[in-house]
Structure 1
Amino acid sequence: MLQTEAKDRATDLYVSNTFTSNRGGQNDVFRLRTPHGLVLLEFRILNRWEAEVYVSTDILRGWDGICKGALQPVGSYVYFIRYKNIEGKRRCRKGCSFVTIIYQEIPFA
């Protein structure tokens, strides 16, 4: 019997830097890509004027580009993430990390 052991496992999250939010069915939500076992402590997104447009502690949720019922303008938004990786180490991503909303017209068939 052959036994294998996974030694190269991801211990940190992956954060995209762009999403479309055009309701086209692909890449419509800015969410964290995480290995199983990661614990999200805080996920916040701020606009260029440092106003909070999204906040969550739910790893399964993501931002759809809407704040207070309004679709947010195209642009760059700063995100702040505090989490514990699968090794139990506290991590923080903040400051110079940006996410860009891109709107694209959906052609009608």
Structure 2
Amino acid sequence: MADYAQVTLKHALAAVVAQLHSPQDAAVKAELIAQKQQLEAALSLLSQCDQYGVTSAANFTRLPAQLCNTPSSEYRIIEDCESDNPVDWCEVECLEQPLNHVRLGPGDVVIEC
């Protein structure tokens, strides 16, 4: 399915790029540039969804406002190690993230694939 969508978006992008190469007035050119940017963004998002296995069945959750009203409070992702005791919990490390941590804030979206 994603292959069909990617091919369709790439064809649409090629058509917009071709139109950009022909003479246009400023308003039409601005609209074509906006369309090109939207198509490129859609292709990038679709590629990331494919890479991480995000499908239309994924569950998206927006994090709520924080209960603790301090300037450096943040959400962290932890592994509970099959315990309800926070002493046993450990923070998840992600090697591809700066400092090997995932730091989330209010309004961030978590995707469950």
The TM-score with structure 1 as length reference comes to 0.24
Which structure dedicates a bigger proportion of its chain to helix? 2
Q: Which has the larger Rg?
A: 2
Point out which structure has higher relative CO (alpha carbons under 8 A, 6+ apart). 1
Which structure dedicates a bigger proportion of its chain to strand? 1
